[in-house]
């Protein structure tokens, strides 16, 4: 039993190491067959191990391509997951957002059906809210979640959240897949997601997606605050987060869309 556990552990670590290589990261992930070939493992064992790692959040599986990539749980535990260029570039961009908007700014990623905040910058206020870093929030009713889901179609959303009606925690939250899909469509046209009191009463937020060199959404930049402080400036804040997300997208090797650059003109 001890020998088998040791083998399983080595197999899991080998898969994580393979998923962290430059080639696979640049390709946006890797399928089971290729991973079995790279690691020298048996395909069925590799598949079972990946399923276990995915269940724990250590790897993510792309619903469209069915390829695996490192999950953000690795970052949460060891701050080594994800694209280091994104994390290093995000700090100054979030600081700039704080100066422009005067409210807290965040960098988030999708973890399963939830949003995980991985980086936060806050203004020098006398009273600070509890840090969002490491916290999971619903993807369906937050601006970051909507930005991260911008490329998802109805089938993918139904697979993630279920196709039946949802018991919303707050009246303004989406009620089902079709409701969410309509709100995502609005965000797609605007270039950023705008949420008003969908997750918490009195809380408003805006968010925009960050894409990697291949065009895949890998993170979201968002600004959130009480309605009485940010409510009248949501359009300006939305344009600002769109530009910030475009800057981070460019840092990952993908040209920033002109639409976002023109948002502040």
Average pLDDT, the chain: 82
Q: What is the pLDDT of residues 223-264, one digit of tens each?
A: 988 888 887 888 898 999 999 999 999 888 776 555 444 444
List pLDDT tens digits, range 34-82. Answer: 888 888 888 888 888 888 888 888 888 887 888 888 887 766 664 444 4
Task: Give the SS3 label for residue 119.
Answer: strand
Question: Considering Cα of 55, then 58, then 60, then 66, what sign does the dihedral take?
Answer: negative
Answer with the residue of higher pLDDT: 168 or 219.
Answer: 219
Measured in whole angstroms, how far is the alpha carbon of residue 143 from the centre of its chain?
11
Q: Is the pTM here over 0.75, yes or no?
A: no
Lowest mean pLDDT among 34-43, 81-90, 138-147, 159-168: 81-90
- Provide the 8-state DSSP code for 233: G
- DSSP-derived secondary structure letter, 203: E
* pLDDT the model gives residue 19: 85
Who's near 227: CB < 8 A, 6+ residues apart? 196, 197, 202, 203, 204
- The answer to whether residue 130 scores a pLDDT higher than 60 is no
- The tokens for 85 are 């260029």
Query: Could you count the other beta carbons within 10 Å of the beta carbon of residue 128?
Result: 10
Q: What is the mean pLDDT of residues 161-171?
A: 71
Q: How far apart are the first and last CA of the chain?
A: 65
91 versus 129: the higher-pLDDT residue is 91
pLDDT digits (tens, 9 = 90+) for 70-121: 887 766 664 444 467 788 888 899 999 999 998 889 999 988 888 888 888 8
Copy the structure tokens of residue 57.
């959040």
User: How is residue 143 written in tokens?
Assistant: 């601006």
Kindly provide the residue ranges of all beta strands, DSSP E only, lying in the chain, ordered along the sequence: 59-61, 68-70, 105-111, 114-121, 136-138, 193-196, 203-211, 217-226
- The domains of the chain, with CATH numbers, are 2-76 (1.10.10.10), 84-262 (3.30.450.40)
| Angle (deg, nearest 10), helices 234-251 and 84-101 | 160
Pairwise CA distance, residues 70 & 49, whole Å: 13
């Amino acid at each position: 039993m001890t020998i088998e556990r040791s083998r399983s552990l080595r197999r899991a670590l080998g898969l994580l190491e393979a998923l962290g290589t430059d080639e696979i990261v640049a390709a946006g992930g890797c399928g089971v067959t290729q991973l079995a070939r790279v690691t020298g493992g048996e395909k069925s064992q590799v598949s079972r191990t990946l399923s276990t790692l995915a269940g724990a959040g250590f790897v993510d599986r792309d619903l469209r391509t069915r390829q695996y990539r490192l999950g953000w749980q690795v970052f949460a535990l060891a701050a080594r997951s994800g694209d280091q260029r994104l994390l290093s570039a995000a700090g100054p961009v979030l600081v700039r957002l704080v100066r422009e908007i005067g409210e807290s700014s965040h960098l988030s990623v999708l973890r399963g059906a939830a949003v995980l905040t991985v980086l936060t910058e806050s203004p020098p206020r006398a009273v600070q809210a509890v840090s969002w870093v490491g916290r999971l929030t619903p993807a369906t009713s937050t601006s970051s979640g909507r930005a991260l889901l911008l490329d998802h179609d109805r089938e993918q959303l139904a697979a993630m959240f279920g196709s039946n009606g949802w018991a919303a925690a707050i009246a303004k939250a989406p009620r089902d897949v079709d409701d969410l899909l309509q709100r995502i469509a609005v965000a797609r046209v605007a270039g950023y997601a705008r949420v008003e009191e969908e997750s918490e009463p009195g809380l408003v937020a805006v968010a925009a997606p960050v894409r990697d060199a291949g065009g895949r959404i890998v993170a979201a930049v968002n600004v959130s605050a009480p309605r009485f402080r940010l409510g009248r400036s949501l359009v300006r804040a939305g344009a600002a987060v769109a530009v910030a997300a475009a800057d981070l997208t460019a840092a990952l090797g993908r040209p920033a869309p002109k639409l976002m650059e023109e948002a502040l003109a």
